[in-house]
Structure 1
């Protein structure tokens, strides 16, 4: 009788331990999903501002064309960089927690920032362009949008950090590896000195 009781007790202990493990795995999985969803939500805020900037840039280029008749290569570079950034942003919109996709977007944004910076540097040599009211208005809107992108990017990076910390720390690391929660990438483009200068578009 004592042996049977001991076997039953051991069985219940094992069952209880397995149940506790299952409950913990489910809780860890749900917590990781929630953090990943927060990244997607934070990226959506960046995406709104990126779309606004992508819509403003062609207008600015059209105004600049009236004055920069000998700077076609500079304007074409901006158009190409914008096109690449739009494509990269669309991919990131579909997969905002995919590190490779976000890294491509960050690189495209750096290139676009550099192209815009060169355009603004060229524009400095054209007083008529600097004095154009439409150009001034678009420049102010772009600068404002850049600031909003910066704030949204910081919020995104904060969510990525929280998610990565949770996914890489034991014991949640076990659930992350078990269910394939890969690390997310921060948008590091603000760390680029050239890009920090590029948004200063006001004349």
Structure 2
């Protein structure tokens, strides 16, 4: 009888370890997926100042818009740094509210970039600028990568959150503080579309 009890206890502990390791693997997958977003966002943050600097010589009368683009870029960059800084926290996949704050800042930046490119349409010389064309091409490619990275992140979050809510995984998750991960949610329909970064036919 004593051996049976010990075997049952060992079985329960072993199963608990398997669940724990599975949750750790899924949480790390969420963190890795976020780091892929972060890489692409940093690439875009590096491109935007060059884009604005190139446009300055042609869009002298749009100074307010150019400054607003840089301000939105800086806010998004700061939000990304804060989110990345919480990605190693033991308490959960990412710090509470960090992804939502970043998603909101990114939506605002996307809106400013859309406005910027709409205004830039009125400047033929800027549209013909080779450096501007190359920056636009790089930005468009980066926007596509960001969209794919966001989808991969949300898929990883859904898998992790589902597992941590299922019984008996939920017992281990609650015991070891596996908190829910945040989805990257877009605020409105306009934010669901990447900024258009091409000037029609050149």
Name the SS of the counterpart of 1:110 in structure 2: helix
Q: Distance in 2 between matches of 1:137 and 1:192?
A: 30
What number of residue pairs does the alignment pair up? Answer: 193
Name the SS of the counterpart of 2:61 in structure 1: coil
Whichever of the two has the greater Rg, that structure is 1
Which runs of 5 or more structure 1 residues have no equivalent in the other structure? 1-8
Q: Does 1:195 align with 2:166?
A: no
| Cα-Cα RMSD | 1.6
The answer on whether the counterparts of 1:103 and 1:187 sit within 8 Å (CA) in structure 2 is yes
Q: Does 1:40 align with 2:23?
A: no
The answer on whether the counterparts of 1:114 and 1:198 sit within 8 Å (CA) in structure 2 is no
Residue 61 of structure 1: aligned partner: 52
The answer on whether the counterparts of 2:37 and 2:150 sit within 8 Å (CA) in structure 1 is yes
Residue 5 of structure 1: aligned partner: none
From 32, 35, 40, the equivalent of 1:49 is 40
Instruction: Give per-residue Cα distances to partners, 1:126-171, cap 9 Å, x unaligned.
Output: 2222222211111111011000111111111111111011011111
Residue 72 of structure 2: aligned partner: 81
* Deviation >6 Å, runs of 4+: none
Residue 4 of structure 1: aligned partner: none
Alignment of 1:140-179 (within 5 A): 140-179=137-176
TM-score by length of 2: 0.89
From 103, 107, 126, the equivalent of 2:104 is 107
Name the SS of the counterpart of 1:70 in structure 2: helix
- When residues 66 and 114 of structure 1 are mapped into structure 2, their CA distance, relative to the original with a 3 A threshold, is same
Q: Distance in 1 between matches of 2:122 and 2:191?
A: 21
Which runs of 5 or more structure 2 residues have no equivalent in the other structure? 88-92
Residue 95 of structure 1: aligned partner: 86
The answer on whether the counterparts of 2:154 and 2:183 sit within 8 Å (CA) in structure 1 is yes
Q: Distance in 1 between matches of 2:75 and 2:50?
A: 17
Q: Distance in 2 between matches of 1:17 and 1:79?
A: 62
The answer on whether the counterparts of 1:102 and 1:187 sit within 8 Å (CA) in structure 2 is yes
